[in-house]
Amino acid sequence: MSALLPDGFAALEPFVVRWAVSGTAARAARRGASSAEEREAFYGAAKDMLLPALAYLDGKNLAEFDAADNRLMDMMLSLAHVALAVEGLGNDEPRHAEMRRHMRITRSPAGV
């Protein structure tokens, strides 16, 4: 049985289901549909893992990522969205999510 995430990142496993989302628009939508508790729990667990995760992933070619690597990458990309809510908008996030819905992401190097 293979692990959900690469070695060293097991602490993030509880967040895989919700935050290992493929596609920039889908990640933005997941943030928009999440609760404050979900965002804070994920941000709290993941923020100190960001640099180690990127350092680990930078050691590989994107095309050579296995399923666990892809999950970790997608989670860090979700963290980019979630951090904006947690660090920036705070309790303004729900109102903001409604405004943001109108800004449709149509292109992203990471795939829409």
# residues near another protein by CB under 8 A = 37
62 binds another protein per the rule CB under 8 A: yes
Alpha-carbon gap, residue 72 to 91, rounded angstroms: 27
Select the span of 4-12, 14-22, 34-42, 91-99 touching another protein (CB under 8 A).
Answer: 91-99
- Own/partner pairs for 88-91, CB < 8 Å, 24+ apart? 91/36
Q: Which is nearer to another protein, 4 or 50 (CB)?
A: 50
CB of 58 to another protein, least distance (A): 5
Sole binder of another protein in the list 36, 54, 66, 94 (CB under 8 A): 54
Distance CA 15, CA 108 (A): 24
Mark the segment that binds another protein (CB under 8 A) among 5-13, 14-22, 34-42, 93-101: 93-101
Q: Is 83 in the site for another protein (CB under 8 A)?
A: yes
b/e code 45-65 from CB counts within 10 Å (16+ = b) = bbeebeeebeebbeeeeeeeb
